Structure 1
Amino acid sequence: MPDGALERACSRSGILRELDDLSGLSIFVRIVEEGSLSAAGRALGLPKATISRNLALLEKRLGAPLLIRSTRALSLTDAGRRLFDRVQPIVRDAQQATAEIKSRHAAPAGLLRIAASVAYGQAAIAPRLLAFMKRHPAVRIDLHLDDGRVNLVSDGYDLAIRMGAIEDSELISHKLADVHMAIVASPGWLEHHDMPRRPGDLARHAAVVTRPHLIQWQIGGETVRVPWRMSTGSMILTRDAARAGLGIALVPEFVVRRDLERGSLVRLLPDLELPVMQATALYARAARQSAALRALLGYLLSSPIAVDAAP
């Protein structure tokens, strides 16, 4: 044999033995997790004979029995328990790393469950989702429009789009857009109530709000507490109630843009600065991202989201 050939052959043999050991360890972990050789074979898609042969080879290389098999049960030897406790986390990490790499190189596909508020979802998010789905025909989207808050993990959502303060530090957030606000009232309301000239004047007007606690309005650097007459639970209904003359309202500008243009609503205190809300994409920190979710996040974040007027 030429010089170095034996060394190379031994090296290759050692590598193959290491690979066999890794395969045997993975099969051993699956046997213990599934509770039997037959169940492990079904989970891995391998014949029971192959599972048994790999286990026997692993035990031979280690020089110790790992499992005690009977007709009714399977139990670990002391060596098997120590081995399982050490290698199970390693096998799981390797499997997860492999799955993540495959996912990153896979084409976006599968189901995405998304939650968003009604008005912002219709005006800003839905048009982007339609364009995204044209690019990725293997992706399915289950869109839920609701002005209530959802729990991403317990409710089974992959992504939520929210406006306003984010309180859950366990979620990963990405800013999508700034949302400008407006204080509005109907011409009919202003016929019977004085036009406000400064922030404090708003306290003499009844308000329509989306939630009862949203009565501290930041206007021109001042905080004004407004008395609410109706709480709607919906930005669209808040706009409609203001348009019907039931009170003043603080709403996202895109919700009332058409009413302001038509004159069915009037902007109050237009020269004073109002807080800017943020629209934010949220997903669970512990969740393993699919290729579809990564692609959608990249698409939403690739350019500023234009907000059409709400219907």
Structure 2
Amino acid sequence: MRGPARGAETGGDVDYVTCLRVLVATADGGSLSRAAGVLHMTVSSVSRAITVLEQDLGAAVFNRSTRGLHLTEIGGRFLARARDILAELDDARAEAASLNAAPRGRLRVLASPSVGRAVIAPLLPGFLKAYPDIDLDLRSGPAGGDLSHILIESGADIAVVTGRPPDSGLLFRPVLTGSWWLMAPPGRVPADAGPDDLSGLPCLAPSGQEAEWRCHRGGRTVVLPTTGRITADSPDMLRALAAAGAGLALLPDWMFLHAAPGEAGLERVLADWRITPAADESCDLSALYPRKKVVPPKTRAFVTALGAAGRAFDARMICLK
């Protein structure tokens, strides 16, 4: 592509992007005068831009007659590429503008009650202080299951989800690689206990799940039956039951993202074992949001804050090892 050509009427350069916009507007409007009105240019300037484009291509893009303008074969093919180029350019400009724009507006966040209480709520005072032009609208989703369809139907900007996000066409960004922690009231389990020593202790299991946990270490796996009389459908309820002395609970570590287990009246047991539910399901946290060419600054700011909280938690866990 040659550089800009000199415009005889204005004495200035004819911008090649302007030539492309003139081509599109003229093709859509069917005349130079309509294109001039759309682009707020003079008819002579529009005509000059078409001439510059044709000189650059070495071929006519329009056939001119008393009935109007009609695209040539070359003009039609070039028009399709010009539309793509302008669309990409507009997207790039919008993205650059959004990166420079201050995050503002109402941000609608969807999460399960447990994630909302343990992860999001403690984050908000600092987040709102850092971004005074953002307002939060927090919405509760189900404790488990797929939040992607709820995100779309509710019009929320972002969902904070657990497990592996489904292939829903939405964008997701990992926030925290979760681990399962076996929790008990302080002193309930000896510090040197192993999985075999827990046999017979009451265990608290999520409703509807297989009644066993699996303890892994050094290539060895020990199956621990959850011999309890209580099940619950909420991690919050399982944590409260464990703190009340009703049994051991297997909880995702993100429940202690902002508060140590001791603050909830619990301690981690079998910390040198990797413990999973029978199905070995993931308890990772991810941010899920609609696929857009330009992610709104308010959404990007919130995802960044979540990621920072996850990295700080990971750093604390490394220091404790």
Q: Is the shorter-chain TM-score for this pair beyond 0.5, marking a shared fold?
A: yes
Structure 1 residues 27 and 184: CA distance shift in structure 2, 3 A: farther
Could you tell which deviates more after superposition, 292-301 or 172-181?
A: 172-181
- Alignment partner of 1:151 is 2:148: yes
Partners of 1:164 and 1:279 within 8 A in 2: yes
Which secondary structure does the structure 1 equivalent of 2:304 belong to?
A: helix
Alignment of 1:190-205 (within 5 A): 199=195
User: How far is the alpha carbon of 1:151 from its aligned partner?
Assistant: 1.6
How far apart, in 2, do the equivalents of 1:48 and 1:11 lie?
Answer: 23
User: How far is the alpha carbon of 1:82 from its aligned partner?
Assistant: 1.2
- Alignment partner of 1:94 is 2:89: yes
Equivalent of 1:295 in 274, 297, 301 = 301
Partners of 1:114 and 1:158 within 8 A in 2: yes
Match of 1:212 in 2: 208
User: How far is the alpha carbon of 1:98 from its aligned partner?
Assistant: 0.9
- Alignment partner of 1:129 is 2:124: yes
**1:261-310 Cα shifts (integer Å, max 9, x gaps):** 3xxxx76955663449544445567652222233333334445556xxxx
How far apart, in 2, do the equivalents of 1:170 and 1:13 lie?
Answer: 47
May I ask how many residue pairs the two structures share in their alignment?
Answer: 276
Could you tell which deviates more after superposition, 92-101 or 133-142?
A: 133-142
How far apart, in 2, do the equivalents of 1:85 and 1:202 lie?
Answer: 70
Which secondary structure does the structure 1 equivalent of 2:62 belong to?
A: coil
User: How far is the alpha carbon of 1:177 from its aligned partner?
Assistant: 7.2
Structure 1 residues 150 and 57: CA distance shift in structure 2, 3 A: farther
Partners of 2:104 and 2:134 within 8 A in 1: yes
Structure 1 residues 279 and 260: CA distance shift in structure 2, 3 A: same
Match of 1:78 in 2: 73
Structure 1 residues 267 and 94: CA distance shift in structure 2, 3 A: closer
Structure 1 residues 129 and 163: CA distance shift in structure 2, 3 A: same
How far apart, in 2, do the equivalents of 1:176 and 1:69 lie?
Answer: 67
Equivalent of 1:50 in 40, 45, 65 = 40
Structure 1 residues 268 and 201: CA distance shift in structure 2, 3 A: farther
**1:91-147 Cα shifts (integer Å, max 9, x gaps):** 111111111111111111234332333223223322322321222222233322332
Which secondary structure does the structure 1 equivalent of 2:40 belong to?
A: helix
Match of 1:161 in 2: 160
Structure 1 residues 29 and 259: CA distance shift in structure 2, 3 A: same
**1:163-201 Cα shifts (integer Å, max 9, x gaps):** 44566597443444766622448xxxx9xxxxxx75357
Structure 1 residues 257 and 271: CA distance shift in structure 2, 3 A: closer
How far apart, in 1, do the equivalents of 2:127 and 2:180 lie?
Answer: 25
Q: Choose between structure 1 and 2: higher helix proportion.
A: 1
**Structure 2: segments with no counterpart, 5+ residues:** 55-59, 277-282, 314-321
Match of 1:140 in 2: 135
Match of 1:25 in 2: 20
Question: When the two structures are superposed, what TM-score results if normalisation uses the length of structure 1?
Answer: 0.63
User: How far is the alpha carbon of 1:219 from its aligned partner?
Assistant: 2.5
Which secondary structure does the structure 2 equivalent of 1:108 belong to?
A: coil
Structure 1 residues 11 and 88: CA distance shift in structure 2, 3 A: closer
How far apart, in 2, do the equivalents of 1:127 and 1:281 lie?
Answer: 17
Partners of 1:108 and 1:139 within 8 A in 2: yes
